Every structure is written in C-alpha cells, then in structure tokens.
Amino acid sequence: MEGYIVMIPKDFIKLYLNGEFVDSKSKEKFSLRNPKDNTLVVEGIPIADSEDVDLAVEHADEAFKAYSKFTAGQKTQCFHKLAAILEEQLIDILTLDSLTSGNPVSIIPTREKDYIKNTILYYSGWTDKQKGDYLPADDGFTKIVRHEPLGVCAAINPFNAPVATMIIKAAPALATGNVMIVKPSEKTPLGTLAIAPLFEQAGFPKGCIQVITGNGQTGALLSNHMKIRKISFTGSVSTGKKVQAAAAQSNLKRVTLELGGKSPAVVFEDCNLDNAINWTVHAILARSGQVCVAATRVYVQKSISKKFIDRYIERMKAAASDFGDPQDSSVKMGPLVDTDQLRRVKAMVDRGKGEAELVVGGVQHGETGCYMEPTVFLNPKVNAEIYQKEIFGPVSVLKTFETEEEVLKMANDTEYGLMSGVFTRDISRALRMSAGLETGVVGVNCVSYMNAQVPFGGMKQSGHGREFGEYALRAYTEPKTILINMNA
C-alpha cells in the first residue's frame, strides 16, 4: 500500500468529548471487521448511553457560548487552517476509514480529498454573509430580520462516506455559528473519530465538534434530546421516520432528512452514447453501488436499446475484474460494507431472478469477504422489489421506452425522489424532462453527481430539507424579527 500510512484503529475506541478522547459511561461495546476478508479490525468501540449524550450536550452548550464570541473573520481563519491541516492528514484518515467501509483507497486522492476540502473552503466564505432584512417604517414600525444560529445541533451519518458526510453537515453548521455532536454509523466510526481533534487544532473552541459512537439506540437519544435544536440524518427511510417522530415528540427540533433513492437515468436516442454509458455505469459501480444517488433504474429509448444495452452489459461484466483489496491503491472496486449488507443484497437479487431477466452477475464474487458481482436485470415486473426498492449494492435494472410521456410516468412511479438524469442533445427535451421528473436534483447528460454550490436533497420519501449551497445555511439559522416603534 505504497504512499499510504494507516492510522492505528485501537487509538480510536473512545468517545471524543470536549476536546478529549474519553471512556464512555456505558459498558456496551462492539467490534469492527474488514469486509475484504472479515478479519477483526478493532474491538471495544463504545455504544454511548444517555449519560454520555447528556455530557456531550452539556459541553456543546458551553462551546456554543464560546463560539458565539468569534467574529466572522476568526471563523473563516479556522476553516482555512482546517483545510490546510487536512491537506496533510486527510489521506491517512480516509485510509483508516477504508479498513471498515471497504471503500477503495484509490478514490481518496482524486475524489474524496478534494470533495471534502472544497466543501470546507466553500463554507469558509459564508461566515460574514449571514445578512438579514430591513424594511422601512412606512407604517410607523421599522422592521429588521436577523438570522441567528440554533445552538446545539446533531448529525447522524451513514456508513458509505462517513467523513465526507460529517463535513457536509458540520461546515454549514459552524459557518452559521452553531456547534455539532456527530454520531457516525456503527459500521464506520474510525475516520470521524480521527478527524474530530483537528477542529481544535484549527482554532475552533473545544466542544464545537464532538463525536459519540453507537447504534440506533444512541441515535434515538440524540433525536429525543430536549436541548438539541436540530438534527440532520442521512440513512434509510424507516429510520428517518423514527428520527422525525422522535424530534416531534420531544422538543420539535428541526430535522433535515436525506433518505436515499431509486434514481432513474433516462437515455434518449439522440444522446452522446459514450457519455451516457460512462455516466450510467459509473453511477452504479461507485462505492460498489452503496450510494444514495446511484442510477439504479436505467430507461433506454427502444431505437437505441440494443446498442446501449449490449455495451452497458459488456462494461458491467468487465467491472468484476476491478475487484480487489480496497487498501491497494491500484484497485477500483471494493466489497460491500459487511456481511449483513451482503446478505441483504444477495437476498433481494435472488428474489429478483423471478421478477426480471438476469443478464449479468447475480452472485457473490469469490468466497472471501463481502464482494457482490455487478448485476443487471432487464424488463422487471412493475411491482418487482428490485425495481421498486433501494438495494444499496451494484445492482441495476434496465427498461425500454418509446415516448417522453411514457418514460416520465415510469420514472416518477416511485416513492423515492432524490436524483435523476436525462441524456439527450435536445435542450428543449432536457428542460421538459427536468421540469417533469419528481426529484430534488436532475442531471442533464450526467447523473449521480452533487455539487457543493447548489442544494442537494430529495422529494417524496427521499426526505426533506437541503444540504450544500446557500440553502443549507438556512437549515442552521432561525429568523428573528425585530419591530421598532418609531413613534414611541
């Protein structure tokens, strides 16, 4: 693994509270395994209990008071210093995460590192731009609107891109003057724990960013806590509903939910075929299909269906040769995150064999580890599970269509609405489709792509609220109206 220095997992088996790694009050622990071969990575990761969560909130509340005294310029300096520190340490941190996520280290220098650093730099520019409103006293009252931070916020993050997701949530929270408690997935907590101390090194007050580990029980404690003012959750629809219910039943804390998708990619006959193939294949193979925006449903116009499908199948078959040790920098594809995920994906694929035509894969790759062959189904039944439900593995479904109206109806016939893509050279068609597709993000001649400058989030049961861009800032601020009686 030339060029990489792996941090030691056993150095990150404590909670990170108030600027220190500390033992949990809870005695419950769990262990982590490497999905490439199911070997033990580390034991003794704590499952934080109510006492731990209360302590984190107490420290966060004190940190919020200290951070409130920072000027916008001071906050920006902290962001810039954090970016500089990460320039030196981020590869090591993400390599540590690879030990339990199975994400190939090959994507770190080209994708992960720049993505994280650019998000930090983007939000560093927003610290002095939290402008409000002024309305004149034409009725005898001067009206002023301020946007104020919420205070103590929490993030519950997924296993597939834990450090990137942490930054996506923490950067706008800190830019608007909030503090945050982060709970990474119990499958991939190591990188989040490793990056946490760097915030203090960058100049943020201790307690501004804290990390507690645990499972769903710990997440429920955050969701129910009466002193946490906002929670941002990324994960499954079923868990997202529980988070929202708990938030409502506790203190009506603000909630942002990003709950996955079943993203359609619509390929028209006039598209750039090479471009469409490249984007749709990459969009299902990235992180072995464990991506919320993965293009899992590909609709191809009948006039080009044979040409497209033949080439798509060829690329998916060839991708099996890209599997290997995710800690080897020459390897492109890694395993699924753990045996539970592999078991779930295999079961859905097995049921799918009776609901659609299997043309590629459909089996576990090799006998060691959690590798799943890239898998393609053709022409599924309308109610097929593989067609309707999120699989979160390298499994796609292809279906043909003839008209815009037909494919729009098929693409929208789902409770998911996160991401979609349209491949065409016709700008009028692209605009019609982008207006008609019921997704929070629509790519034209691209798919499964996010940009930090513009909002990202879903419609329908893919969640609500937005991350990225200026829109994310309003999720972490409360408008306050000040009315001044000018006749007093």
Residues designated catalytic = 258
Instruction: Tell me the C-alpha distance between 361 and 376, whole Å.
Output: 7
Positive/negative CA dihedral, 74, 75, 81, 84: negative
User: How big is the CA angle at 467 (ends 408 and 157), to the nearest 5 degrees?
Assistant: 105
Using DSSP's 3-state secondary structure scheme, residue 226 falls into coil
477: number of Cβ within 10 Å: 21
Distance CA 204, CA 220 (A): 27
- Confirm if 376 and 394 have CB atoms less than 8 A apart: no
366, two tokens? 């090799």
Could you tell me if 208 and 174 are in contact, meaning their C-beta atoms sit under 8 angstroms apart? yes
Contact call for residues 341 and 370 (beta carbons, < 8 A): yes
The SS3 call for residue 420 is strand
Q: Show Cβ contacts of residue 299 under 8 Å, excluding neighbours closer than 6 positions.
A: 264, 265, 266, 267, 398, 399, 400, 401, 407, 410, 411
Q: Which of 129, 209, 211 is nearest to 175 (CA)?
A: 129
Q: CA–CA distance from 365 to each of 294, 370, 372, 394, 480 (Å)?
A: 20, 8, 5, 12, 56
Contact 141, 218 (CB under 8 A): no
Residue with tokens 């916008």: 72
Alpha carbon of 238 to those of 101, 258, 317, 366, 400: distances in Å? 22, 12, 33, 32, 31
Residue 348 has, within 13 A of its CA and on its CB side, a CA count of 23
Q: DSSP assignment, residue 270?
A: T
Apex 266 CA angle, 263 and 268, nearest 5 = 170
Instruction: Determine the distance from the C-alpha atom of residue 213 to the mean position of all C-alpha atoms in its chain, rounded to a whole number.
Output: 18
Helix (H) or strand (E) holding 400, with range, is strand 395-401
Torsions phi, psi for 179 (to 5 deg)? -125, 160
